């Protein structure tokens, strides 16, 4: 069986880390596209030169030509501009909207059969724009944020309980970052829900509240430390988990930004919900029952995403 082909649009910090992980996990060959093709080609060659040491044979190339992504099985999009001092959210929206237009055109023309994972911020509106502009079926275009948010939540919970991260599951919904909605009653240690762990004296509600706040601000905490750029190791690992679920038809249940088509009584925009990812892309959206409090938080998160989409539409890009 021929190796799978994975195209990375954007060869920055996340793009380079994605390529390295794809090699180490032997997921397939890599094409890295960037407006700076030399950066893409340099990273591709550098990573490929680690293959003999680490034992992988992935072919990796860097390019500034969209034709090279032809026939890609998976495309991961990180192309775009980060927010710089003095830039408003609208400035970022306008700039990255333009980028998404080019990326959508490239995908539509050269790899319309791919499973597309968008990472570029502001995530929920960018993945929506990418799907709308490319015209790909919505089950084949998803956004990565929830896997990262829940991974951060799992780490902080594991540290609080002094148990392995492997035994902690976390459940988050809603938009990326600030408006993320963690459902603590569905977050567990080896199946024991967090509210029960509070009753068992393992932690307190106050500690859980501060972990939730730290998780929602997880990206900001890293930006502050790095001073130049944003998180890239955990975001890359998270997108790879989604790509693997698709390529291996694992049918994993992962939180991802997907187009709602009546689920949760909502339609026509992307927001983070649990979804089954397998060979059919986003195969099935999981609709959980909310308590009134959870419903309020989820609605507020959806309203924030919808407002950003409206702002985006007003830009007329
Ligand atoms: O959870 C999440 N979704 C996120 C999102 C977590 C962390 C970071 N998140 C966002 O991912 C971040 O706010 C950015 O919007 C993206 C990519 O982050 P990265 O750290 O990789 O950014 P870089 O290093 O600036 O890389 C961006 C690359 C860079 O090489 C540019 O030259 C390239 O994008 N770029 C383009 N490539 C192709 N086509 C166009 N038009 C283009 N414009 C810039």
Token pair for residue 94?
């306008």
CA of 100 to the centre of ligand 1 (A): 11
The per-residue pLDDT for range 130-177, each reduced to its tens digit, is: 999 999 999 999 999 999 999 999 999 999 999 999 999 999 999 987
Radius of gyration, CA atoms only, the chain: 19
Q: Which of 82, 225, 254 to mutate to test the pocket of ligand 1 (most atoms within 8 A of CB)?
A: 82
- Asked if 141 and 246 touch (Cβ cutoff 8 Å), the reply is no
Q: How far apart are CA 78 and CA 66, in angstroms?
A: 15
Tell me the backbone φ, ψ of residue 36, rounded to 5 degrees. -110, 85
Please report the pLDDT score of residue 90 as a whole number: 67
What are phi and psi for residue 154, nearest 5 degrees? -60, -45
Residue 10: closest CA among 47, 53, 39: 39
Q: Is the CB of 14 under 6 A from ligand 1?
A: yes
- What pTM did the predictor assign? 0.97
* pLDDT tens profile 170-184: 999 999 877 889 999
Expressed in angstroms and rounded, the spacing between residue 219 Cα and the centre of ligand 1 is: 14
Residue 144 CA to ligand 1 center (angstroms) comes to 13
11 within ligand 1 shell (Cβ under 6 A): yes
Task: Determine the Cα–Cα distance for residues 125 and 312; give it in Å rounded to an integer.
Answer: 8
Helix, strand counts (H, E) of the chain: 11, 14
Please state at what angle helix 13-24 crosses helix 37-48, rounded to 10 degrees. Answer: 30
Asked whether 234 lines ligand 1 (CB < 6 A), one says: no
Distance of CA 316 to the CA centre of its chain: 26
Give the atom of ligand 1 at the shortest distance from the alpha carbon of 145: 1
Q: Which atom of ligand 1 is nearest to the CA of 238?
A: 1
Q: What is the ipTM metric for this complex?
A: 0.99
Nearest Cα to 102, choosing from 84, 88, 81, 122?
81
The atom of ligand 1 lying closest to the CA of 231 is: 7
Q: Is 32 left (phi over 0), alpha (psi -120 to 50) or beta?
A: beta
d(CA 254, CA 51): 30
Question: How far is the C-alpha of 127 from the C-alpha of 140, rounded, in Å?
Answer: 11
Residue pLDDT tens, the chain, 317 long:
899 999 999 999 999 999 999 999 999 999 999 999 999 999 999 999 999 999 999 999 999 999 999 999 999 999 998 776 667 666 778 889 999 999 999 999 999 999 999 999 999 999 999 999 999 999 999 999 999 999 999 999 999 999 999 999 999 999 987 788 999 999 999 999 999 999 999 999 999 999 999 999 999 899 899 988 899 999 999 999 999 999 999 999 999 999 999 999 999 999 999 999 999 999 999 999 999 999 999 999 999 999 999 988 888 77
CA of 35 relative to ligand 1 center, distance in Å: 11
Q: Please state, in angstroms and rounded to a whole number, the distance separating the CA atoms of residues 80 and 250.
A: 30
pLDDT for res 77: 98
Residue 176: active-site member: yes
CA–centroid distance, 12 to ligand 1, in Å, is 6
Identify the active-site residue in 20, 110, 133, 176: 176
On the 0-12 / 13-18 / 19+ scale of CB atoms within 10 A, 293 is: exposed
Rama region for 83: left / alpha / beta (φ>0; ψ in -120 to 50; rest): beta
pLDDT at 82: 75
Identify which of 8, 19, 34 to mutate to test ligand 1's pocket (most ligand atoms within 8 A of the CB). Answer: 34
- Compute the distance between CA of residue 15 and CA of residue 43 in angstroms, rounded to an integer: 9
CA angle 83, 178, 285 (to 5 degrees): 110
Choice from 63, 119, 236 to test ligand 1 binding pocket (greatest atom count within 8 A of CB): 119
């Amino acid at each position: 069986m021929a190796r799978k082909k994975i195209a990375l649009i954007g060869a920055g910090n996340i793009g380079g880390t994605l390529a390295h992980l794809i090699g180490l996990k032997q997921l397939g060959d890599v094409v890295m596209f960037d407006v700076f093709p030399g950066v893409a080609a340099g990273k591709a060659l550098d990573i490929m030169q680690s293959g003999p040491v680490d034992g992988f044979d992935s072919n990796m190339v860097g390019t500034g030509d969209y034709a090279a992504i032809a026939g890609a099985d998976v495309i991961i999009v990180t192309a775009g501009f980060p927010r710089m001092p003095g830039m408003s959210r609208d400035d970022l929206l306008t700039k990255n909207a333009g980028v998404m237009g080019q990326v959508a055109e490239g995908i539509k023309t050269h790899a319309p059969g791919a499973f597309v994972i968008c990472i570029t911020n502001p995530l929920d509106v960018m993945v929506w724009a990418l799907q709308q502009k490319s015209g790909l079926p919505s089950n084949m275009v998803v956004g990565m944020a929830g896997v990262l948010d829940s991974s951060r939540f799992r780490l902080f919970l594991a540290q609080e309980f002094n148990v392995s991260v492997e035994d902690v599951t976390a459940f988050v919904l809603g938009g990326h970052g600030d408006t993320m909605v963690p459902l603590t009653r569905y977050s567990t240690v080896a199946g024991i829900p967090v509210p029960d762990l509070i009753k068992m004296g393992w932690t307190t509600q106050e500690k859980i509240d501060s972990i939730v706040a730290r998780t929602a601000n997880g990206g900001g905490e890293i930006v502050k430390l790095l001073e130049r750029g944003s998180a890239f190791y955990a975001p890359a690992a998270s997108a790879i988990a989604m790509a693997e679920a698709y390529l291996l038809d694992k049918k994993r249940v992962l939180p991802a930004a997907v187009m709602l088509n009546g689920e949760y009584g909502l339609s026509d925009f992307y927001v983070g919900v649990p979804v089954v990812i397998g060979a059919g892309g986003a195969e099935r959206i999981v609709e959980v029952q909310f308590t009134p409090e959870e419903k309020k938080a989820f609605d507020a998160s959806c309203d924030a995403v919808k407002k950003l989409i409206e702002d985006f539409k007003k830009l007329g890009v």
